[in-house]
Amino acid sequence: MSYLDSILFAILLITGFGYFYSNVKKIIRNINLGTAVNRNDNPKVRWKNMTMIALGQSKMVKRPVAGILHIIVYAGFVIINIELLEIIIDGLFGTHRIFAFLGTFYDVLIASFEILALLVLVAVFTFWTRRNIIKLKRFANKDLTGFPISDANYILYFEVVLMSLFLLMNASDLHLQNVPGGFSHFIKAGSFPISQFIEPLFNGYSNELVMLLSEIFWWLHIVGILIFMNYLYFSKHLHILLAFPNTYFANLNPQGQFDNLESVTNEVKMMMDPNADPYATAPATENAVPAKFGASDIQDLNWVQLLNAYTCTECGRCTSSCPANITGKKLSPRKIMMATRDRVEEVGKNIDANKGVFVPDNKSLLNDYITPEELWACTSCNACVEECPVSISPLSIIMDMRRYLVMEQSAAPAPINALMTNIENNGAPWQYNQQDRLNWKNEI
């Protein structure tokens, strides 16, 4: 590699990682649009969750076929890209297989990379078949249309191209290593259990042409990795990175336990205190009364919920296990998360277009992205939370938006309004006078 090539490579790296960094800053900015919530308690439990769920893929293997295939692709993606470090050093300093001095350990590494690359190709083909030929129901659901369908396939094609280029790069390299008497700077290094079967394809070509092809494969491979890295921002595969913080900051409360509004709790305590002044109000505390009850837009959700939205893998496990969706209701937990992410992105673009300030756009998450019909279809059973492989909670968003409908707009369905009216007037969900509550004893 010439001095000019090294400069070009450095410019390519700076551009690729610079654009990636700018998008990471946008994601952090957008997530921080949410309200504050403390998720720093029980660090030991949180580290364990992150290790088991994000790194160990423990929830993925509940569905063994998809789980094992995903582990192969995940491991292949992470481990093979360890070689990226060698590629960067070789590209910047014009060296060839700089880590070859590791000897046998290096041979084992390259061999394992190649075997993983082949397994990734098999897994990707299986995923593509399940999605496009078999058309599993959770991938053909009506809530998954347009770009999300294409996005899933784009990633699969990316994986095929990157793994193929990796093997072709190694095969052409091996061919030049085996030139009698040596060729240029191609030293003998590495073990190639897969690409050794591809290497014969270069027989009959001149060494100079094979060297040119090797350089082309090398450049396309690194360019492909940089493109893939920057595509993540626009893709559901952002979970490759965000699954780790998302599982760490997940809610540790028992499923079904919801947060109470402090201001409402204080009022209830005052009502239940027999010594309290009936005309008094609960004493105000700092930050006790929110701007509004519940959530109608993304600024009302907390930052962990927005992190959830960016982490959503769109796998559909939540929707496929949702009893409301199964029985034909409009609700899809996957769509709740996708809609939240779309709204966050829209607000982020609004801020970018207006020099760091959000200008009201007469839109909101409620109604424009998620309808009350979807929210009230939820049975709050937690099936979606239990099924999510990266600890996302669509239910928390649903409940916060329901809270807004009830407490800010009095827009609950008629049966729920009747129930709450009965509780207010009669002290029970049923429509009868409190004085008649013990009439049943007269029937004994």
pLDDT for position 31: 97
Residue 64 DSSP SS3 = helix
Q: 187: closest CA among 315, 96, 319?
A: 96
**Mean predicted confidence (pLDDT) in 395-411:** 92
Judged by DSSP in three states, 113 sits in helix
| CATH code for the domain defined by 290-432 | 1.10.1060
User: Which distant-in-sequence residues (6+ apart) come within 8 Å of 37 by Cβ?
Assistant: 302, 303, 304
User: CA-to-CA distance for 338 and 327, rounded, in angstroms?
Assistant: 21
pLDDT, residue 144, reads: 85
Task: Give the range among 266-270, 278-282, 358-362 with minimum mean pLDDT.
Answer: 278-282
For residue 218, the surrounding DSSP H or E stretch is helix 207-231
Taking the CA atoms of the chain, what radius of gyration do you get in angstroms?
A: 28
- Which pTM value belongs to this model? 0.86
CA neighbor of 119 nearest in space, from 56, 68, 173: 68
Q: Read off the tokens for 328.
A: 């034909």
Q: How do residues 51-74 score in pLDDT, each as one tens digit?
A: 999 988 899 888 888 888 888 888
Give the pLDDT confidence of 73-122 residue by residue, as tens digits.
888 777 777 788 888 898 888 888 888 888 899 899 899 999 999 999 99
Q: How far apart are CA 219 and CA 314, in angstroms?
A: 32
Q: At CB < 8 A and 24+ separation, what contacts does 285-291 make?
A: 288/262, 288/263, 289/263, 290/261, 290/263
With a CB cutoff of 8 Å and minimum separation 6, the contacts of 119 are 72, 76
Per residue in 132-177, pLDDT (tens digit) is 998 888 888 888 888 888 998 999 999 999 999 999 999 999 999 8
> Domain-by-domain residue ranges, the chain?
3-31+63-248, 290-432
Which residues does 388 contact at the CB level (< 8 Å), separation at least 6?
A: 59, 317, 318, 394
